[in-house]
Amino acid sequence: VQLQASGGGLVQPGGSLRLSCTASGSIFSINDMGWYRQAPGKQRESVAQTASGGGTNHAESVKGRFTISRDNAKNTVYLQMNSLKPEDTGVYYCKIRAIRLGSSLWTDYWGQGTLVTVSS
């Protein structure tokens, strides 16, 4: 199972970015999908999560500004980020919980990370 994340970049404060993460490989089923971020010198933290049934959860720091969504047909999770602030700067990682074909175990898979820099 491979995850390919894209959409990061440099943006001014108040700007917007949309991150995408697509899973590929021998996937039987995907349950949770989510985004995490790691700022320089800080621990990785959860940004937003979405369950297979469509429920979502966003960190307090991004509520009202970020929106997570998913396209199950494309095995893709998105993160729409609006009103970006300098403190949103960091490497953003996607994660899925999935079962591979031929397996019965739910496993977490991580993407390679995409850098978001919010600066004027």
Closest by Cα among 23, 22, 31, 28 to 100: 28
- Could you tell me the end-to-end alpha-carbon distance of the chain, in angstroms, rounded to an integer? 37
Residue 98: what pLDDT?
95
Residue 95: what pLDDT?
98
54 pLDDT exceeds 90? no
Average pLDDT over all residues of the chain: 96
93 pLDDT exceeds 90? yes
How far is 34 from 96, CA to CA, in rounded Å? Answer: 6
- Band (pLDDT 50/70/90 cuts) for residue 77 is very high
Token pair listed for 108? 């977490």
- For residues 38-56, average pLDDT: 94
Counting runs of H as helices and runs of E as strands, what totals does the chain give? 0, 11
Give me the residue label for tokens 């977490």.
108
